[in-house]
Each structure stands twice: as C-alpha cells, then as structure tokens.
Structure 1
Amino acid sequence: MRTVTVLGSTGVIGMHTLEVVDRFPDQFAVAALAAGRNVDRLAEQARRYRPAFVAVADEEAGRALRDRLAAAGGSTPEIGVGPDGLVRAAEVPSDVVVSAVVGAAGLRPAWAALARGATLALANKETLVAGGDLVMPWARANGADIVPVDSEHSALFQCLQGSRRHDVRRFILTASGGPFRTWPLERLREVTVEEALRHPNWSMGRKITVDSATLMNKGLEVIEAHHLFSAGYDEIDVLVHPQSVVHSLVEYRDGSVLAQLATPDMRLPIQYALMHPARPENEWPRLDLLSVGALTFEAPDTTRFPCLRLAFAAGRAGGYAPCVLNAANEVAVAAFLEGRLTFTGIAEVVEEVLNRHMPGTPRALNDIVEMDAWARREARSAVEKGGWGV
C-alpha cells in the first residue's frame, strides 16, 4: 500500500485525487492533507481518511477545524497553519505528495517533499515555472521523482514511455483556446469575470480558469515542459484544439507522432501519476470518437492572447524572468477577479513588470522567494496606478 499526501485537498484536483484513492482503497492510505479555508470540506476529509496531519491557511481556520473535529469525536490529527503548516504537511512521511495548491505557494512544500525523496505528483505548475532551475537538480540530488499531473504533461509523459528522449523532435502541447477563442480583440476588452470563468471543457479553480482564457496557462505549461522534459523552447509548440480530446503529442525524428487521447477528466492523469506504469480498470467515462466526430487544430493567436507570447519570451530569457511572469500574473488575475483590472489588462500588467525586472540568476530558494515578492509588489503598484480601462 502506498501512502499519499494531498496538498490542496479541497480544490478540484485534490478532490479528484481522493476519488482515485476511493476507487483503489486497498492500494492507498492518506498520510496528510492540506487546504486553504474550506474548513467544512477539510473536516469531512479528515474524518473519512484519518490522516496523521492536516494543515489550513491561518489560525482562524485552524480553530474552526479543531472545533469541527472535536464535535465529531474520535481521534484528532495534528493541525498546522499557514505556509509553515503547508511545508510540515509535505514533510510528513509518505510515498507520494500530490501538489495541487494554487500558485507560487506550492514551491516551498514541493522542495520539502523532494528533500525527503518522496515522489512529487505535480499539478502546481508554478513550482517549476518559478523555480525549475533549482527544483529539478534538487530532485535529482535527493533521488526523488517528479511525475506530472496536468493532463498535457501527463500526455507527453505517456507518449515518451518506451522511447528514447534523443529521438524526440518536438513536444506539442494542446490548448482548448478557452471561451474567447473566436472573439475579436475589441470584445476581449469587455470580458466579465463571469464570462471568463465559463470554460468550455474543463471544471477548474477560478485562477487556472482565467489563465486558460488568457492562454497564460498554456504559457506556464510551456515553461514547465521545458523543465520536465529537458526541452529547448524551439522544441515546444502549442496547438489550439477546441475539443480537448488530444491532450498533447510527441513528434519523433522519424516523422512518427504519438498522441494521448481521452475524455477531459482529470481523474485519468491523476490515476496515471499515482499508479504508472499500471493502468487498472476504473468506471469513469470512456472516449467515444464517433460521438466526438471531428478533431480540429489551429495556431494560437498571440496578438489577441499575448500572455502566451510573454511566457515563451520569459522562458527563453531564463533566470528570474519566469518567476516574475508567474508572480505578476497571479496578482493581475486576482485584480481581474476582484473587478479592479480588465481582462486585457492582465497581459499589460505582466508585460510591464517583466520589463521592469533586473535580469539575474537565482542561486538559492530564497532568491526566488525574494524576486517573487518584488514582482508582486510591482504588479500591485501597476494595478493601483490604473490606466487599464476599468
């Protein structure tokens, strides 16, 4: 039996992970859980899975969780709070740590999990975007594996099985194109929060759904693929594929192209991350190509969706640039969700902060933390300065 820690257990990926655990109860036990402020759901999970440790976002949530668990009776797990609690959850002995927290907050717990040689099942792409130059060598130094959970990187990972890396010519990431794929630029300036949160194919958290709509999500995935698969940016392409059936493709030097196809269901890549190379039976929906009909592809439009262009540029620049890109984007997306920034203003804020940053190379984890904090301050300043059409 494998022990599993789930960071971000009350979010979409975390809940899907626990569905996989439920489907194979004889193969998994839960060692630790961490969440934000959804105390009711976390209390229910703690009662069901009986982890040794749980973590929440702050002291207020910690007190509420203690009250709910005490009222339910039975044994109570140790409770940690704040960023330190999240790191402590990652340090609890377990075989696999599923990192499904949102944003750069996932960097420190990922580092802690890798430090003890755990397998990191990575759904938090910001860990490698902000810190990939340090995280990948750290994983190797500790004999730890990083296994992708994102459907696109899982697809690439699956298409590489049984093949030689040096035979690969291109990694092709697919993107749904989001809800505004066919909208003209003028209309994008008027996008509402409600419209941006209506993803055509996937059910995801608010931040990642907005990132999908701007194509920043795909840009972050490009940088993540660079680190996961030791791929140069000239070896990575993006195709818009509205049906979200082909999750990504690998082109080999002989002209063969391998693709991974499935229904848009995150339980499938999660199961593969936890159980590969095994592919045990499950009861989840199967892909019916006759029902899908046509599979179409088109080039991304980086004029209407400049975040993808900015991500490629930051990745090629290297050093602190990807960290700055990610931090500025998190602040800009939060401002959009709060009604303080237009949809098109997200890319404008990110580009402004990127242009302000001083190039350099991080040497330690704290260097990344400090640059992340700088970029957030600059992005908040840019949002407050206004001029983005709100």
Structure 2
Amino acid sequence: MKKIAIFGSTGSIGSSLLKIINGDKRNFKIELLTANKDYKKLIKQAKFFDVKNIIITNNNSFLMATKFLKNSKIKVYENFDSLNKIFDINKKIDYSMCAISGFQGLKPTLDIIKFTKTIAIANKESIICGWNLIKRDLKKYKTYFIPVDSEHFSIWSILNDNKKNNFEKIYITASGGPFRKLSLKKFQDISIKDALKHPNWSMGKKITIDSATMMNKVFEIIEAKKIFDLNYSQIEILIHPKSYLHAIVKFNNGLSKLLVHDTSMTIPIFNSIYFDTDKKLKSKDIDIEALNNLNLKKIDYIRFPVVKILNNLSEKDSLFETIIVSANDKLVKLFLNNRIKFTDISNILLKISTTAEFKKFRSIKPKNIEEINNLADYVSLKIDTMRV
C-alpha cells in the first residue's frame, strides 16, 4: 500500500485526489489530511478513509474538531510543527500532495519534503516565492518532485527528464478568459460578475480573476522558468480558446511535441499519483474538432498589459517574486470587495513592479520562510496606503 498525505484535502485539488483514491482504496493508506477551517468536511473525510491524523490550522475549527473527536482514535493537531510527531524521517511515506492555497502553503510544503519520497505541488506561491528553498530540500532529502498545474505537468510529461540543453523553447497556452474578444472600450466597466465567468474552467474566485487579467499565466511562466531551469526568453504564452492544448515543447533536434487533455484537473492529479505505474484512467476520445481548430495566437499586450511584468523580473530567484504575488493577492481582494476597478489590478501591479522601493529586491535571494511572509505582509500594507 502506498502511504500518502494530503495537505488541503477539503479544497478542489485535495477532494479530486480523494475521489481518485476512493476508486482504488486497497492500494492506499492515508496517513494525514489537513484543512484550515472546514473541520466538518475534514472529519468526514478522515472517518471515510480511516485516517488517524488530521491537522486543522484555524483555532476555532481546531477546538470544534477536538470536541467532535473527543472519544475518537483520530489525533487532531493544530499546526504543521506536529509533522515530527506524525512521521519518521527514516520511514518516508510514498507520496504527498501539497494543495494548500496562498502563502499558507509554503511552510507545510517545505516541512513535508524530508518525510516523503515523492511530493506533488499544486501551490503556486510555494514554487514562485520559495523555489530555491524547495529545491535545496528536494536535493538534501532526495525527494522526487512532480508539478500538478496542468501546464507544468504537461511540460514535465513531455520533457521526461530531458536536460535543459535538449530543447529550445516552451509554449504554454491560455484560454484568454472571459474578455478575449471584449471591446477595449468596455474594460473600464467590467464587473465582478463578468470577471468570474470563465469560459472553460470552474475555479475559485481568486484564480478566476487571475485568469481574466492573465496574471495566472505570468505566474505559470515564472513557475516554468524555475521548475525547468529556463531563461524567460525560452518560454512564451499562446492564446488557445478551447484549453485543450496545454503545452508545446520545441526540441533542438527539429521535433516539437504537443500535449492535449480535457479541461479537467483529474488528469494531472491522477497521473501525479500513478506516475510510476501503468494504471489506466477512463477519458474522452480525442477531440478532433479541437485539434483542427487550435486557433493559436500571440498574446495581446494591450488587452492583457499585466503580462509586461515579465520584462521586469530577474533571471535569478529573488524576493521580487514575493512582491508581485502578494501585491496581486491584495489587489484581487480589493476588486472582489468592489474597492477598485478591474483595470486597476494590472495598472497598479505594473506600477509596483517598476517602483524603486521594490525593484531592489530583484537582487535579494530568499533565505527563509519568515523573510518571504514578512515581505508579503509589508506589501499588502503598502498597497493600503497607496489607496488612501
């Protein structure tokens, strides 16, 4: 049986993984499930899959969970420092899924590396802001890494451990979101409701707004650069409205490989946990119509100005990425609270990326999680003052 841990089991990625495991329960033993607030769903998952350990980080939810499980054999912990009590570094578990959203996902991602043989990461902030710390520990503890985002999993699958000098360029695709064809004159009047209408994917509010601004692709470019040890000049975004084609890799031997799959995160999640087996997944037939009409186009920088942020990034890992991520988080919240316009998100992000106060961080490498978290908090407060 594969022993596994799921960080963020009540979210969409974690729930999808549990659904996959439910069809193959005899081959898995779940050692740990975690959540922030949703203790009721977490307890239900733990009981159904006979999980002996849960972590719930919200204090009120932890107290409620402790009360509910007073006479249960399930052990309830309130923070990730307890991983040392649950796992043994000399008896690594087989697989861990890190699917906690936001900066909260960085600490558990780093903490679990030494306890697991394979780690699948679906947390953008961890890779973007703390990749040098993750890479250091992956090497130190000989832990195998698999990216879970559909684009990065597609690239990972195509490359199949090819070395950097074997390929020339990588293309990742973007649907163009809900405003791919919207008149530029109407951008000033975009409502929250409009921005949350993604044409292809059903996602949380924050990532849906990131898709509408194209900031999610900026993040994916940064992730790809770090994961696959590239230069920014080697990665490009292509608009592909149907979200069927996820990545293209152009090799230096004249070949180019494309990877397609349906708009379902089940596919990369399934393949991340069964990457070393021949387990089969039922899926739809090849979409010939989509293949005949890929309709690929270069990015429109007037429609999606935020992509120009990539020109301000350093080729080396730096704290500047934390500034961009935290600033975007704050601005998306302000938009969803109806405090700024949709176009303000991109405009303010571009302004921040060229501000002298923040540009100096392009040459400063992250040393630890505290440094990343403190800077993220500072940027959030700074934006509040900018709005006054």
Q: Specify if TM > 0.5.
A: yes
| CA spacing shift, 1:38–1:365, aligned 2, 3 Å | closer
CA drift of 1:317 comes to 7.0
SS of 1:174's partner is strand
1:59 aligns with 59
Task: Assess if the C-alpha contact under 8 Å between 1:90 and 1:97 holds in 2.
Answer: no
Task: Assess if the C-alpha contact under 8 Å between 1:11 and 1:205 holds in 2.
Answer: no
Root-mean-square deviation (CA), in Å? 2.2
Unaligned runs of 5+ in 2: 88-92
1:368 counterpart (372, 377, 385): 372
SS of 2:132's partner is helix
Q: How does 1:187-266 map to 2 (within 5 A)?
A: 187-266=186-265
2:75 aligns with 78
CA distance in 1, matches of 2:129, 2:47: 35
More deviation, 291-300/253-262:
291-300
> Are 1:166 and 2:171 an aligned pair?
no
CA drift of 1:66 comes to 3.4
| CA spacing shift, 1:88–1:200, aligned 2, 3 Å | farther
CA drift of 1:67 comes to 4.2
Q: Report the count of equivalent residues.
A: 378
Unaligned runs of 5+ in 1: 386-390
Identity of aligned residues (%): 26
| CA spacing shift, 1:374–1:5, aligned 2, 3 Å | same
1:342 aligns with 341
CA distance in 1, matches of 2:152, 2:192: 28
| CA spacing shift, 1:279–1:220, aligned 2, 3 Å | farther
CA distance in 2, matches of 1:185, 1:316: 32
More deviation, 129-138/249-258:
129-138
Q: Which amino acid aligns with 1:362?
A: P
CA drift of 1:344 comes to 1.3
CA distance in 1, matches of 2:186, 2:80: 41
1:142 aligns with 141
Q: Which amino acid aligns with 1:55?
A: I
SS of 2:277's partner is coil
Deviations 1:111-134 (Å, cap 9, x if unpaired)? Answer: 101233542201101111111223
| CA spacing shift, 1:203–1:366, aligned 2, 3 Å | same
CA drift of 1:153 comes to 0.3
CA drift of 1:162 comes to 6.4
CA distance in 1, matches of 2:119, 2:15: 17
CA drift of 1:284 comes to 4.1
Q: Which amino acid aligns with 2:366?
A: P
SS of 1:45's partner is helix
CA drift of 1:218 comes to 0.8
| CA spacing shift, 1:175–1:288, aligned 2, 3 Å | same
Task: Assess if the C-alpha contact under 8 Å between 1:6 and 1:34 holds in 2.
Answer: yes
| CA spacing shift, 1:86–1:212, aligned 2, 3 Å | farther
Task: Assess if the C-alpha contact under 8 Å between 1:34 and 1:86 holds in 2.
Answer: no
Q: How does 1:1-390 map to 2 (within 5 A)?
A: 1-69=1-69, 75-81=72-78, 85-86=79-80, 88=82, 92-93=86-87, 94-161=93-160, 163-290=162-289, 293-316=292-315, 318-354=317-353, 355=355, 356-357=357-358, 358-359=360-361, 360-382=364-386, 384-385=387-388
CA drift of 1:189 comes to 2.3
| CA spacing shift, 1:66–1:323, aligned 2, 3 Å | same
CA drift of 1:374 comes to 1.7
CA distance in 1, matches of 2:112, 2:243: 31
CA distance in 1, matches of 2:280, 2:177: 31
CA drift of 1:273 comes to 1.0
SS of 1:179's partner is helix
